[in-house]
Structure 1
Amino acid sequence: MSTTSTVTAFDRVPVIDISGLYSDRLEDRLQVAEALGNAARAIGFLYVVGHPVAQTTIEGLRKATKAYFAQPLETKMRDYIGASKTHKGFVPRGEEVYGKGVPDLKEAFDIGFEVPADHPLVLGGTPLLGPNEWPPLDGFREAASRYYDEVFTLGHKLFQGFALALGLDEHYFDEMAKAPPSKLRLIHYPFNADAEDAPGIGAHTDYECFTILLADNPGLEVLNAEGSWIDVPPIEGAFVVNIGDMLEVMTNGAFVATAHRVRKVSQERYSFPLFYACDYHTRIEPLPQFNDGERRYEAMAIGEHMYAQALQTYQYLKRKVEAGELSLPQRSRKPSSFGHLKQQSMND
C-alpha cells in the first residue's frame, strides 16, 4: 500500500464501515484497511460504523456524565485534577490553554487506563499512570469503566487495521499498548446564549496515536490543506477517528495529524474522546519503509511527548514548571507542532 501522504483540500470526512475488520477472511480485513489508510493519508479524519460498542454502553455514559456535571462546582472541585497523583479527575473551566490561546468555556472529567498502584511502572513514578480516582457518584464508575473498556477494545482493532494499511503484520502494534497513558475525557460545553460562531478549543492536534470520539452536537471542525475549516457533525451510530502525532511520526508524515478545533456554539454539548496511545516508554520513530532519505521527525518516547504537552497546556502543571517543581523533557515540542501546524519549531 502507498507510503506517501496525499493531503487534500477535502470538503467532507468519509464514513468507513469497519465490520470487515472482524471477519475471518484476510481479504475483508485488507479491504477495510485500505479505506482506513486512504483516509489517514488524505485527510487524517474519518467516521467509523459497523463497530461492536453497545448503544446501552453509550447511553449509560451519557447519563452518568450529565449527572456528574449537574453537581455544584464545589462538589466537582473535590475531584480537581490538580490535586490528583496521576493527572486524572475534574478539569474546571479555564484550566486548559492551547499555546497562546484563551481559556475554553468547558469543563471535563479525565479518566485513564486503569493501572494498579503496585504495577512496576507506577511504583517507578511514571507520569500519567496509576489508578483512577473516582467520584462518589452512584453508577459513575461502572458506566465510565464499561465505556472505556469497550472503546479501548475498538481502538485495539483499529490499530490492527492501521497496521495492515501500512503493510505491516496486523498484530504489529499489539504489544505496544499493554498499560498505556490512554485518556478518556468526558467534556461538557454548557449552554452559552452569548456564543458567536467562533473558535472554541483552539486549533490543535492530538498527542497520541489516534482518537476515537463520540459527540452529541455539532461544533467540531477540521482544517483542510487549503486552510479552510470543515464541519464534522455527529452521525448516529458512528465514531469520529482522527490520526494523532505519534502515527504521524511513525509514518514520517504519510499519515497526517490534522489540526482541528471546536467551534463556539450556543447549545449545550457533550463530547467523549478516547485518546489511544502506546505504552509510556514506547520509542516512536519513523518505520523503516518510510525512510525516503528525508527524516522529518526525531525519535521520542510517546509518554514523554504526552507529558510535555500536558505540562504546557494545563494551568496547574504550567505553574509547577514555572516554580521549578517540574521540568519539561528534553527536546519537548510546542503544542500542536504536527499536521498543518508543524511549521512550529521544536523547543530548545
Structure 2
Amino acid sequence: MSSSGSPPAPMQLCYENVNGSCVKSPYSPGPRVVLFAVFGCGAVLAVFGNLLVMISVLHFKQLHSPTSFLIASLACADSLVGVIVMPFSMVRSVESCWYFGERFCTFHTCCDVAFCYSSLFHLCFIAIDRYIAVTDPLVYPTKFTVSVSGICISLSWVLPMVYSGAVFFTGGNDEGLEELVSALNCIGGCQTVVNQNWVLIDFLLFFIPSLVMIILYSKIFLVARKQAKKIENTSSKTESSSGTYNVRVAKRERKAAKTLGVTMLAFLILWLPFMIDSFFDSFLGFLTPSKVYEIFCWFAYYNSALNPLIYGLFYRWFRRAIKLIITGRVLNNSSSTINLFSEEA
C-alpha cells in the first residue's frame, strides 16, 4: 500500500552549493510582494518626508531657530534610517537571508543603534528646549540660543556613534556568548547578539532620557494649561497690539510643545516593544522567534517615517512649506523670506 503523504519540500539555502550557508525560509510570492511594498513605502517616506523637513528648515529664514535646527537634525537621523538601515533590513526580513557581507552587517547594526539613540537624544534636547520656552519665555531667547542648539545637535550625533562603535566594532557585544554566536554563525545571516551587560546599558540609555522627556512634557502641559486660562482671562481686557502679539506667541509655543510631545509619544510607543523584548530576551536565553523580532524592528523603523506625517498633521507652516517646495516656488529669489505663519502665505 503506497503512502499518501507528500515528500518533504527540499531545504532552501541562502547560498546554494556553499558549505555553512544559512537555511532560507522565504515567504510565498503573494506575501512577499505585500511585504516589499509595505517596507519599501516606509523607507521612501522616511527618506523623502524627512528630506522635506530638512529643506523647509534650512531654506526658509523664518524657521532658523534653535528648535527648528534640532528638528532638522532629527529629520536627518530619520532620513538616514531610510537610506542605510531600512532597505537592507527589508531584504533580510522578507528573504530571511543577508546578502551584503559580514562587515556590512556590523556597519548596518552599528548605524541602526546609533540612529536610534541619536533620535532619542534629539527628542530629549527638544523637550528641554520646549520646557524652557513654555515655562520661562522671557529668558528663553538668551538661554537656548542657536549655539546651544548646535552643541545639543553635536552631542546627539557624536555620543550615539561613539557608543555603538565601541559596542559592535570591538566585539564587546558578544563577550561570554561565544557558544551562541558559533551556533548562529552561518553564511547569509546577520543576527547580532548582545550580552546582558550591554543590554542593561542599552535599556538604561533608552529609559533615562525617556523618563526625562515624560517628566518635562508633563510639566509643560500643566504650565500650558495655566497659561491658557490666564490668557483667556486677560485677553478680553486688553486690546493692545502688544497684548495680542504676546497671546499669539504663547499659543504658538504651546502648540509646538504639544506637537513635539506627540512626536515623543510616538517614538516611545514604537520603540518600547523592541527595547523591552531585547532586555528580557537576553536574560531568558534569546527565545524570541525571528519573525516576532522582525515585527518589533519594523515598528521601530516606522517611527522614522511617522515624524513628517505628524508635522504635516499639526504644523500649518510645514504644509505650506511642502506646497512651496513641490510647486518649485522655492527656486524664486525671495522665497526664503516668505512668511509661513501668516494666514495668506
TM-score, with structure 1 as normaliser: 0.23
Higher relative contact order, chain-length normalized (CA < 8 Å, sep 6+)? 2
Work out which of the two has the higher radius of gyration on C-alpha atoms and give 1 or 2: 2
Higher share in strand? 1
Higher share in helix? 2
